[in-house]
Structure 1
Amino acid sequence: MTRQAGSVDPWSQRLREGLQLQQQGLFDKAESIYRNVLAEQPQHALAWHLLGIAKAHQGSSREALRCFQQSLLIWPEDPVAYHNLGNAFKDLGCFEQSLEASERAIARRPGYAAAWSNKAGMLQVLGRHAQACAAYRKVLEFLPGDAAALGGLAQSLAALCDWKELQSVRRLVLNRFTAGQLAASPFDMLWLSGDPSEHRRCAKQFADELVASHRIPLSPAPSASCVKEGFNRPIRVAYLSADFHEHATAYLMAQVLEMHDRLRVKSFAYSFGQDSDDAMRRRLRAAFDEFREVRELADEDVVRRLQEDGIDIVVDLKGYTRGARTGILLRKPASIVVNFLGYPGTMGHPAYDYIIGDAVVTPFEHEAHYVEKIVQMPHCYQPNDGLRAISPETCRRSDEGLPAEGFVFAAFNNSYKITPELFDVWMRLLRSVPQSTLWLISDSEDVTRNLRSEAELRGVAAQRLVFATRKPLDSHLARHQLADLFLDTLPINAHTTASDALWAGLPVVSCLGDTFAGRVAASLLNTMEMPELITRSLNEYESLARELALDPVRLQTLKNRLMPKKSTSALFDAAGFTHDLESAYEQMMKFYLQGSAPQHFSVKEVRSHGAE
């Protein structure tokens, strides 16, 4: 600070006024006061710090970052400024820098629970789950029973497959949730619970807390410009995501975006993720009519840009997943807001009008579990890119550490989706199918060690679990030929992972759950016209997997049916999917233009009644 010790800060009263305005959610007025102080005293560290907090609440993370950096140049020993700097880096997706800032805060205040919490979260995002667990335990030393720390600890324990401690932590998290505390993110609730009513309640709690903490106004956008224009122009659709690069969502959506009928839809990308120059990024830039880089804009500025672009429908491709900018959507930035593809569940807030699903993942009888109105696609809700390349390379079992002989069960889902109950089933399969191997995917030595230890506890030799390392998509698809059968997970199914297996010609055995997340593989299989691979209980799932493993003729028959379907199934018909999606957008707009509230509808039924 520039003032002398013991001197009176002549700007303190004005800063207190700004802070009071900020606490009331009047961030623009607070910002004006802070800037006036800085105009008179540009070396006032606290004014820079408070301005950074105001900008962060406005969703302007880049400007907040600059403010905190300026504050620390003036007063480099402020642990709170380092903590807030870490939050700004986190919001910008700069996780290593966020971790470093949190560590600097802790070095200056070792008992700073909030900084420990951010450190734990960044370690988790970076995949350093064992270190994240240690940091979350540190938070719990300072704040016993802290709900957020318990939820984070549960997430990292699940990712590590450290089930001994997870059992007790999971119970604490769910007990707090039952008591009305927000103890887990909506995304984590997908694997913590198979109850769709709990998913909705958690999403609502999360959205309500986000709105309250950031004072987010629900300010509906001006009426869509096509109210005046009718359908004499394409519907203006904006897709919002941080994942317009080499990412699972991009792999699924790329061809759909390329095939939009420009007479029906004008497509806009609003990208708030990190910029990159990978092949997928270049492909997507060419696919959209307009590509907006908005990562450095505040939430309110993004809303303003959407409205200046005359957007009719905003499509959220992130939901409650890492890198989301939910604050933009909760402001209701367009006449119609759609939850699609990125998050398999309700967003829990009335700013969202529709969720796009299908008759399997979102049957109309499940409508009570969604705040949004359900739109059912005629086939599967999941788009797929029929241009995904499979490497022509020759794959050998020895290259993957697989035995030369014997049956190979593949289970390529992320490790957090594996539950002890499911693992029991898999181990019984290995014991009952001679010379069989379970092929998993993980780059973590901790996961490898934990799962092999769990296998031995269940009477299965550790070496019968083989772990694949991650590879580029075309090579990963190619190595599927080394497996005999794909085993799905529950309560969260394989999503993109399952469509990858089917595209590569590998049959998938799945168990139908009660939630969107637990019904995706069934939707994929149903669309592929292979419903005999869908089971309704873990006992049935285990029996079917065993029968197929012990009956090579029956399994080969399935594979022979599967391969030709790549060219005939609706699952990989991007042109047909795009046409259906455009019909869905048109029906949403028709309800809106008629002055009707959003309604549940099936695209297939709409067509059969001649609504087009």
Structure 2
Amino acid sequence: MASDFSSAFSLHQSGRLAEAEAQYRALLAAAPDDGRTLAHLGLVRAQRGALEEGRDLLDQVVLREPGNAMAAYHLGTVLAAMGQMEEALARFIAGLISNPGDIELLFAKANTEFQLGQYAAAAASYAAVDVLTPDREDVLLNWGSALQEEGKVEEALALCDRVLARTPNHAGAHNNRGNALRLMNRLEEAYAAFDAALKSAPQYDLARFNRATVLEMLRRYDEALRDCVAVLTRAPDHAGALSLRGAILMGLDRYDEALAAFERALAIDPTLERAIHGRIAALLSVSRWEDALAASNSALARQPNSATAHNNRGAALMKLRREEEAEAEFAAALALDPESAEGYFNQAGLRYTQDRLEDAYADCNLALEKRHDFVPAKSFRFALAAHLCDWQRRGELDTEMAALTEAGEKIDPFVLTYAFDDPALHLKAAKRIADKVQPALSAGRVTERDRLRVAYLSADFRNHPVTHQAIELFESHDRARIEPIAVALWPLPEGELGDRLRGAFSSVVEAYDRSDRDIARRLAELKIDIAVELGGYTDKARPAVLAWRPAPISVSYLGYPSTLGAAYIDYIIADAVTIPSEDDVYYTEKPVRLGTCFMPFDSRCESVATPPSRATEGLPEEALVFCNFNKTDKLTPEIFALWMRLLKAVPGSIFWLNVQNQTARRHLHEEAVRNGIARERIIFAARTPSRADHLARLALADLFLDSFPYNAHATASDFLAAGVPLLTLKGKSFASRVAASLLTQVGAEELIVSDFSAYEMKALELARHAAMRAEIRNRVTANRRTAHDTEKLARALEEAYFRMWDRRKQGLKPEAITL
């Protein structure tokens, strides 16, 4: 009988399951109560797919022979295969009561506890196995995995090292070691461990997937993508790898591809959290805000306590201008996860839109407390500190921003224009942030045109300097040659300004709530010839629309005084002062130098309001009034200290600033006192009820002292229109040369200086010579109507557009154009 069982068992071991089953059945026909044979019949039936029958046969054996360790082990294994993990664990435990030293039962118990998420119990069971059979590699590695799940990562790492001390090329140990190091945020070491695993086992795709994960965390996106693609080549339906590919593509700013990857992952596994939240982030990145909100709602229906889902929902609501709801979502997210750097950062963004700058600044600082290397928060904190004139750490933060930009981090290029007169640095930052060129949507050949269809894209068709300066330009286009179309990336205002804007264009495309791609498709459908981006990297602008090449020619103009660093923008409108030819190297666009100042002017904005008295504005009647009405982020400690020296040198003079934020006012008063100037000599302009009232008071100033490195632009134009002498320091960057262009236009070049020393000397000279100021005021006033010739600028711009079109029509690449 024993030899017959041996024969059946031999067939079983060799995988000849049907023959083994037949022999087991024959044996049981002769000896139906033989537990050993019945247990092996149950096992072979389970192995042949009859899990329930196999379970029942094994259960019979265990009921008859409670101490049968082999039957208990196999019954538990079959129950586990059926997904009945709790029942499987109970069988392993019952078997161990009679066989407390059975290693395989104990190991199976540990593995089942691990699968049930009972990590502490599993770790204790693995430890018990290790006592019975020290240094068994599979036990040590599984034990380490349980310890990792408990958060005992250093102990897990030590177990991996025990395995590697015995087997230095053990791929699984290197992989587990990498996971432990990743959890300890020792990312470079984790990368090396996964690398070692792959050297030992080049086809070990779990290690390759883990290496890609660490590379993504290290922001080495190109390498991460290669590993991820390799995994997906062999396992195209690996949902985790598809989700990781989406995260990597997000890091590469390839948002549409990322969205497709996340959606494919979710088609395979709709419960995959990383893909759910990644898809929402991608939807937000391509401006599909309603879809992002719907996806966030679905995520919260599944997981009401998901901080990430609340955060994403808040971000979508903020974009949809539902600010109160967004605030509630960010608060909920932070209540669920008070350690979330992203939560504080998103809340800072909302508070900025609500003009709660102090709260936004505090949130940025909290975000950086939670995550010291959070670069977007560093960039935003820098901008907020500038808005609030918080200069206590200005030198340190300047150095940090420059270093991060040089290191290739994504820093808001617009922020850098306020702080650095360095067009090379601006170019580097812009290139880092510029969107990738997408497949072109514009169709058809460029042909002869008597009339060009020109689309102006802007989020600033509202009460904003871009509109105040350019509205008459749009009205002045020769409609026989140019069909101007507004693409409004922010809702147009109601009332007089909204009516005037609608009348300034042939048509208006309301595009605020559309995705970048949808807007580009609409432009392609409209057969736009030239698309003009008016915002660049300023707030609410969306230059990524033009990454889809919806028009044959793309142009940057007016709203952003620097390069966009984007391969999809062909030209930038400027003049010979703002971009001299030797500076072309700092622009990816080809400069167009108009034969007049590039800055438009609205002659209808010249004040019709009654000029106020100095007393009405809180200004001393007889004092010399220095003035700067620029935004606070254009002010720097260096230029402010120079202004305070001027106040010391000119007794009785005061400085008039247009600063509304109370914290910024307090900081400027404190800075004045530190420079030996009484607070009373810094006077802040009140908010006026209308733009006309604001313009009417400008002439009360004696001398406008410009900021540096970001000049007054629209503000300079307004003050010159009021006849006020304006002193500017011309630097290297576009932003530092705009006032110089305006002064050249009105014939006041002597007010342009090239260094701080000359600036201070010239300011003192002007302050001490009222006749000189009066002569300049008369000259500027006399010249301004000729200088502010909107019709002339419109014709120059139209000529530039047709020059661009002619080059394209001839199949020539864009080149610099000088008119």
What is the TM-score with the length of structure 1 in the denominator?
0.89
* Structure ID, larger Rg: 2
Within the candidate set 594, 601, 608, 2:817 is matched to 601
Residue-by-residue CA offset, 1:22-65 (whole Å, 9 max, x unaligned): 45626357558868999xx9xx9999766644533443123222
Matches of 2:715 and 2:773, distance apart in 1: 20
Match of 2:638 in 1: 421
**Alignment RMSD, CA only?**
2.6
**Percent of matched pairs sharing the same residue:** 34
Alignment of 1:525-540 (within 5 A): 525-540=743-758
Q: Report if aligned partners of 2:766, 2:773 keep a CA contact under 8 Å in 1.
A: yes
The equivalent position to 2:430 in structure 1, one of 170, 186, 203, is 203
2:607 aligned with 1:410, yes or no?
no
Give the structure 1 partner of residue 348 of structure 2. 120
Q: Is this contact kept in 1: 2:263–2:275, CA < 8 A?
A: no
Superposition map of 1:141-540 within 5 A: 141-182=369-410, 184-207=411-434, 210-211=435-436, 217-223=437-443, 227-228=446-447, 230-231=448-449, 233-471=450-688, 472-540=690-758
1:383 Cα deviation from its structure 2 partner: 0.9
Question: Do the aligned partners of residues 145 and 456 (structure 1) sit closer, same or farther apart at CA in structure 2, a change above 3 Å counting?
Answer: same
The match for 2:190 is none
Residue 452 of structure 1: how far off its partner (Å): 1.1
Q: SS at 1:163's partner residue?
A: coil
Q: Is the 8 A contact 1:58 1:299 kept in 2?
A: yes
Instruction: Please state whether the residue corresponding to 2:574 is helix, strand or coil.
Output: strand
Q: What is the aligned partner in structure 2 of residue 592 from structure 1?
A: 808
Please give the residue correspondences for 1:17-32 in structure 2 after superposition, counting only pairs within 5 Å. Answer: 19=243, 22-23=246-247, 25=257, 27-28=259-260, 31=263
Q: Is the 8 Å Cα contact of residues 388 and 667 (structure 2) preserved in structure 1?
A: yes
The 3 A distance-change label for structure 1 pair 187 and 281 is same
Deviation (angstroms), 1:124: 3.1
* Higher normalized contact order (CA 8 Å, seq sep 6+, divided by chain length): 1
Separation in structure 2 between the aligned mates of residue 147 and residue 58 of structure 1, nearest angstrom: 21
Q: What secondary structure sits across from 1:397 in the alignment?
A: coil
SS at match of 1:338: strand
Q: CA deviation at 1:239?
A: 0.7
CA distance in 1, matches of 2:310, 2:409: 28
Change (3 A) 1:29 1:420: closer
Aligned-residue offset at 1:236 = 1.0
- Counterparts of 1:160 and 1:21, CA distance in 2: 40
Contact 1:246 1:281 in 2 (8 A): no
| Residues 276, 394 of structure 1: alpha-carbon distance in 2 compared, 3 angstrom cutoff | closer
Q: CA deviation at 1:99?
A: 4.0
1:389 deviation in Å? 3.8
User: Residue type of the partner of 2:440?
Assistant: P
Aligned residue runs from structure 1 range 564-575, under 5 A: 564-569=782-787, 572-575=788-791
Q: Is the 8 A contact 2:361 2:384 kept in 1?
A: yes
The Cα shift of 1:174 comes to 2.1
Structure 2 residue aligned with 1:542: 760
Would the alpha carbon gap of residues 264 and 96 (structure 1) be closer, same or farther in structure 2, given more than 3 Å must change?
A: farther
* Pairing partner for 1:136 from 338, 361, 364: 364
Q: How many residues align?
A: 577
Task: Please give the alpha-carbon distance, in whole angstroms, between the structure 1 residues aligned to 2:695 and 2:367.
Answer: 41
Q: Which runs of 5+ in 2 are unaligned?
A: 1-85, 87-115, 117-236, 250-256
In structure 2, the CA distance between the partners of 1:15 and 1:94, relative to structure 1 (3 Å rule), is: farther
Any conservation in 2 of the 1:35–1:51 contact (CA below 8 Å)? no
Give the CA deviation at 1:167.
Answer: 2.3
User: Do the aligned partners of 2:458 and 2:490 also contact (CA within 8 Å) in 1?
Assistant: yes
Q: Does the 8 Å contact 2:345/2:363 carry over to 1? A: yes
Residues 130 and 555 of structure 1, relative CA distance in 2, 3 Å threshold: same
Alpha-carbon displacement from aligned partner over 1:184-238 (angstroms, at most 9, x marks no partner): 300011022111100100100111xx54xxxxx522343555x34x12x411111
When the two structures are superposed, what TM-score results if normalisation uses the length of structure 2? 0.67
* Cα distance in 2, alignment partners of residues 220 and 139 from structure 1: 39
CA spacing shift, 1:18–1:250, aligned 2, 3 Å? same
Contact 1:27 1:57 in 2 (8 A): no
Counterparts of 1:50 and 1:538, CA distance in 2: 49
Report the AA paired with residue 694 of structure 2.
H
